[in-house]
Chains A and B, each alone.
Chain A
Amino acid sequence: MADTKQLYQEVILDHNRKPRNWGTLPDATHRAEGHNPLCGDHITLTLRLREDTVEAVNVQGESCAICKASASMMTTTVKGKTRTDAEQLIQEFRDMATGKLDAARPNHLGRLTVFAGVRDLPTRVKCAILPWHTLHAAFNAVASTTTEADADPMHEQIIGGAG
């Protein structure tokens, strides 16, 4: 738990201030929207696939620092990767953020492990995962989609609020 501030330092100092690949691709082949109703994060992901390789990927929208930094690092990581490799990363990132990653098995997360600390912040897990869910949605639908409720292909229960 001591690494909550550390998580913020590393994540925010760079990617939150200067998010990479922030914008909209004019010649996108795939597109999806991600929405986290709990905190109001709303991002749009555009993607250009050529022969199953991610040629370019952009994200734009309103979000918290964890979501924005996660999106930024995601775009730099999956660029040039095949869809299959990207899907594997999505799964690994998701497992890491929810504390289910098997440490004994090798993974491909590399510097994305700076997000491992979110597993101790249950209400923030969704913030970190949102860009990855949105990427998954983009791979699977050319038309726009959202990560809300049933429309979310990787939906998990979001705890709403009162008061």
Chain B
Amino acid sequence: MNVQYTALKPQRRGTLDVERLRADFPILRLHVKGKPLVFLDNAASSQMPQPVIDRWLRYQTTQHANIHRAVHTLSETATAEYEAARGKLQAFLNAKEEREVIFTSGTTDAINLVAHGYGRKFIGAGDEIVLTTLEHHSNIVPWQMVAEERGARLRVVPVNDRGELIVEEYERLVGSRTKLVALTHVSNALGTVNPVREMIAMAHAKGIPVLLDGAQAVPHMKVDVQDLDCDFYAFSGHKMFGPTGVGVLYGKAAWLEKMQPFKGGGDMILSVTFEKTTYNVIPHKFEAGTPPIAAAITLGAAVDYLAGVGMERIAAYETDLLDYATEQVNRLPGVRIIGTAEKKAAVLSFTVGGVHPHDVGTLLNEEGVAVRTGHHCAQPVMQRFKVPATSRASFAFYNTHEEVDALVAGIRKVQKVFG
């Protein structure tokens, strides 16, 4: 491979050479409906750059075997690469220890792991779990299941008209019955960046652990789990330029050691007899069966790629891009932006007066512009803002101001059709 990839070269501080970075993403060269693809559905799933795709290929062509099993060379190589990926994720999150990083199949799987491992062990009748209006269904339904089974109750932090959590209400809701706070770092439907550090400190003052759903945060900003002091942090690989099928649960070692295993099977045990099984140590206790080895190693490459670009630079560029998009879309008569929080990341949710979001999405697609339309798996948010659905443009660092212009031109065309 003689190809040079720009992301791995040091870049001028504070700037992002987007055109050079875009060249790393082969899918961005596609045309849809005869028009250049404008991919603005990154919150649902992002695209992979060539070095990350190449890592998958290199693993499958030269390194694949099952891990933690055999003594042969390939198995040892695969094990070393898999555990090295864990180390990369540890560094990415600034976790204290490697064993605090558990590979899961994704955010949903990670949250379910905590719902089972922590919830079914430590949450009982009369206890409360505090969630927020902004949660994705994946951070609601697992807790509903636990609450129903254990006779516990969900308490929900409301949001104001801008889509910001009302922190005073949160403070009131967190009380002596609260056994866990589960909240999103960044709202997938609105883009609101929640004041999680402050909220975690408030919960900890009352001895309550906090789980953060970081799926929409990790692609856009530097996340330091020790600085946040969260007890659990869950996210997916495919929303951060890695592959589908892999995600991460970070958990403080003290909690992970106390929790019960989620799935039973191979690799999560030390010894098995029909009378008694001794569980493996963390993180292996939570990685039953053959894990997504190729996907985890490839996610490690995505982390390397992001480190090459620089999370601070990504955050600065995307803030500028979102400001530009907000300004341009705000100029369109009849278009309402849903979610106007002071601190937002990479998401622009909107409605076009008199046009259902599904019609907006279908007609934007005719212009090559890919947006998500619907309830974004966040129906409570839709109910709060009294809309059945929205159209959502969600950005990544490879999106450009010209693509925002294409979105705006597309919305104008939609309005013309519906005239």
Size range of the interface on A?
A: 20 to 34
* Cβ-based interface call for B198 (8 A): no
**The stretch of B23-31, B157-165, B373-381 that contacts the partner chain:** B373-381
| Nearest opposing residue in chain B for A39, CB measure | B358
Q: Assuming A39-B356, A39-B358, A64-B356, is B43 touching A12 (CB within 8 A)?
A: no
Q: Select which of B45, B356, B382 is within 8 A of A163 by beta carbon.
A: B45
Q: For A38, what are the chain B residues with a Cβ–Cβ distance below 8 Å?
A: 374
Cβ–Cβ contact A127 & B358, under 8 A: yes
Q: For B359, what are the chain A residues with a Cβ–Cβ distance below 8 Å?
A: 8, 12, 64-66
| Nearest opposing residue in chain B for A5, CB measure | B366
Q: Which of B188, B358, B372 has the most CB of A within 10 A?
A: B358
Cβ–Cβ contact A161 & B372, under 8 A: yes
Size range of the interface on B?
A: 20 to 34
Q: For A124, what are the chain B residues with a Cβ–Cβ distance below 8 Å?
A: 358, 362
Shortest beta-carbon distance, B387 to chain A, in Å?
Answer: 9
Cβ–Cβ contact A39 & B355, under 8 A: no
Q: Select which of B43, B388, B417, B418 is within 8 A of A40 by beta carbon.
A: B388
* Cβ-based interface call for A48 (8 A): no
Q: For B239, what are the chain A residues with a Cβ–Cβ distance below 8 Å?
A: 163
Q: For B417, what are the chain A residues with a Cβ–Cβ distance below 8 Å?
A: 5, 8-9, 12
| Nearest opposing residue in chain B for A63, CB measure | B356
Cβ–Cβ contact A39 & B44, under 8 A: no
* Cβ-based interface call for B389 (8 A): yes
Q: For B363, what are the chain A residues with a Cβ–Cβ distance below 8 Å?
A: 4-5, 8
Q: For B355, what are the chain A residues with a Cβ–Cβ distance below 8 Å?
A: 65
Cβ–Cβ contact B356 & A121, under 8 A: no
Q: For A103, what are the chain B residues with a Cβ–Cβ distance below 8 Å?
A: none
Whole-angstrom CA separation of A123 from B357 in the bound complex: 13
* Cβ-based interface call for A1 (8 A): yes
Q: For B374, what are the chain A residues with a Cβ–Cβ distance below 8 Å?
A: 38-40, 161
* Cβ-based interface call for A136 (8 A): no
* Cβ-based interface call for B204 (8 A): no
Cβ–Cβ contact B44 & A161, under 8 A: yes
| Nearest opposing residue in chain B for A38, CB measure | B374
Cβ–Cβ contact A65 & B188, under 8 A: no
Cβ–Cβ contact B377 & A163, under 8 A: yes
| Nearest opposing residue in chain B for A4, CB measure | B366
Shortest beta-carbon distance, B186 to chain A, in Å?
Answer: 12
Q: Which of A50-83 contact B (CB under 8 A)?
A: 62-66
Q: Which of B363-403 contact A (CB under 8 A)?
A: 363, 366, 372-377, 382, 388-389
* Cβ-based interface call for B33 (8 A): yes
Shortest beta-carbon distance, A2 to chain B, in Å?
Answer: 10
Shortest beta-carbon distance, A135 to chain B, in Å?
Answer: 21
* Cβ-based interface call for A42 (8 A): yes
Q: For B382, what are the chain A residues with a Cβ–Cβ distance below 8 Å?
A: 40
Whole-angstrom CA separation of A144 from B417 in the bound complex: 35
Cβ–Cβ contact A162 & B362, under 8 A: no
Q: Select which of B45, B358, B373, B418 is within 8 A of A162 by beta carbon.
A: B45
Cβ–Cβ contact B43 & A121, under 8 A: no
| Nearest opposing residue in chain B for A11, CB measure | B359
Q: Which of A64, A66, A163 has the most CB of B within 10 A?
A: A163
Q: Assuming A1-B33, A9-B417, A65-B355, is B376 touching A163 (CB within 8 A)?
A: yes
Q: Select which of B366, B376, B418 is within 8 A of A161 by beta carbon.
A: B376
Shortest beta-carbon distance, A148 to chain B, in Å?
Answer: 14
Shortest beta-carbon distance, B412 to chain A, in Å?
Answer: 14
Q: Select which of A40, A121, A160 is within 8 A of B389 by beta carbon.
A: A40
Q: Assuming A65-B355, A121-B362, is B45 touching A40 (CB within 8 A)?
A: no
Q: Select which of A1, A62, A121, A162 is within 8 A of B44 by beta carbon.
A: A162
Q: For B372, what are the chain A residues with a Cβ–Cβ distance below 8 Å?
A: 161, 163
Whole-angstrom CA separation of A66 from B374 in the bound complex: 15
Q: For B375, what are the chain A residues with a Cβ–Cβ distance below 8 Å?
A: 40
Cβ–Cβ contact B366 & A39, under 8 A: no
Q: Which of A130-163 contact B (CB under 8 A)?
A: 160-163
List 26 A-B pairs, Cβ < 8 Å. A4-B363, A5-B363, A8-B359, A8-B362, A8-B363, A12-B418, A39-B356, A39-B357, A39-B358, A39-B373, A39-B389, A40-B388, A41-B388, A62-B388, A63-B356, A64-B356, A64-B357, A64-B359, A65-B359, A124-B358, A160-B377, A161-B44, A161-B372, A161-B374, A161-B376, A163-B41
Q: Which 6 A-B pairs have the closest CB atoms?
A: A163-B44, A40-B388, A64-B356, A64-B358, A39-B358, A40-B389
Given A4-B363, A40-B382, A161-B374, 11 more A-B residue pairs with CB atoms under 8 Å apart are: A4-B366, A8-B417, A39-B357, A39-B358, A40-B375, A41-B388, A65-B418, A121-B362, A123-B362, A163-B41, A163-B239
